[in-house]
Amino acid sequence: MKFDNTGLENLQLDFNRLNFILTSHGFVLAGQWDYERVTFDRKFELKEGTYYLRMQAYATEGDIGAANAVVQLLPPLLGKHYYPHGVEYGDDEMYPASLVETCEKVLADVKNEVSEFTV
């Protein structure tokens, strides 16, 4: 599920600042980056299954690996994990309404914080 019109898509900011903000909101970077792209996930474990809220960005300036990048955000995604196949982000998935509301709140909070530091 893609979250359109969050106000996050197309925002640009310093990678280190984004990393700090998203980590403070429960997102994990782990090893999900290369020199041009980066992915943050926040895990939700519910009785209906395991879900991930994903934030992606790509470098418009600099290098993510060198921690000197300016990154541009992409629309956030919500997906459901299926063992052993992985996470499905399709619009045909069923997502609990309470989870979607929680994700919308998290994204609104992130947007408020990120907006202060956009390039």
Q: What is the pTM of this model?
A: 0.92
Please report the domains of the chain, with CATH numbers, ordered by start residue. 12-117 (3.30.310.100)
Averaged pLDDT, groups of 10, the chain, 119 residues long: 92 95 95 89 95 96 90 96 86 90 97 90
Length of the chain: 119
Q: What pLDDT is recorded for position 10?
A: 87
Q: How far apart are CA 23 and CA 12, in angstroms?
A: 17
Q: How far is CA 62 from CA 28, 48, 56, 78, 103, in A?
A: 22, 41, 17, 28, 30
Instruction: Map residue 107 onto helix, strand or coil.
Output: helix
* Predicted local distance difference test score (pLDDT) of residue 118: 86
pLDDT computed for residue 93 by the predictor: 85
